[in-house]
Chains A and B, each alone.
Chain A
Amino acid sequence: NAGVMQNPRHLVRRRGQEARLRCSPMKGHSHVYWYRQLPEEGLKFMVYLQKENIIDESGMPKERFSAEFPKEGPSILRIQQVVRGDSAAYFCASSPPTGELFFGEGSRLTVL
């Protein structure tokens, strides 16, 4: 039973480019969460999605960031016009309808 799969594991972008991070939840999990981890800081909640629905996006920056979890395929976290401050590790987690979160290994974004 594969865990939460994230790709790419490492992504380098220049300022102004777009970054797309993908997350495939564990089999049978219908809930997906995205968290961001800045250097020397804990994980910060960004968004909570279920299939085709954004449930809670209270942690998402108001501009440039968007997330989706389509009926088919992985969840996508999209960052438009990246800036240096977006450099971080982005973790996806999934869970069944009740219970614990399982985290992926993260996608590390570096903005030059």
Chain B
Amino acid sequence: QKEVEQDPGPLSVPEGAIVSLNCTYSNSAFQYFMWYRQYSRKGPELLMYTYSSGNKEDGRFTAQVDKSSKYISLFIRDSQPSDSATYLCAMSRLPATDSWGKLQFGAGTQVVVTP
């Protein structure tokens, strides 16, 4: 069993729809939870990170963490064709006093937003 499970998609949505992405994990030692966006043939870029359970909002993006269920989500509101990319969840065991470094990634979900 993988430590982090993520549906690879592809997930196709019309422009303006809400994109809902999620990951489940098995190791309760994970403390930091991140979402990265990766465009084709590019490196991942950090979208959002959260610590502990709860919600975090940044513009059109909302990240949720439910540590009791070992489940994290990312929602993208008012999706745009430019949001078409692969979205990777990632997790870290390390505390805030150290580099995030050794991340455990999900396989990534490919999202296609059609005009």
Contact = CB atoms under 8 A, between A and B. Distances in A.
B102 A33 contact: yes
The number of chain B residues touching the other chain, given as a range, is: 20 to 34
Given A98-B96, A106-B43, A48 B102 contact: yes
Interface residues on A, range: 20 to 34
A49 to B, nearest CB: 10
A67 B107 CA distance: 25
B54 interface: no
A99 B88 contact: no
Contacts of B106: 42
B44 A91 contact: yes
Interface in B45-89: 45-46, 49, 88
A98 B98 CA distance: 5
Interface of B: 4, 6, 8, 34, 36, 41-46, 49, 88, 90, 96-108
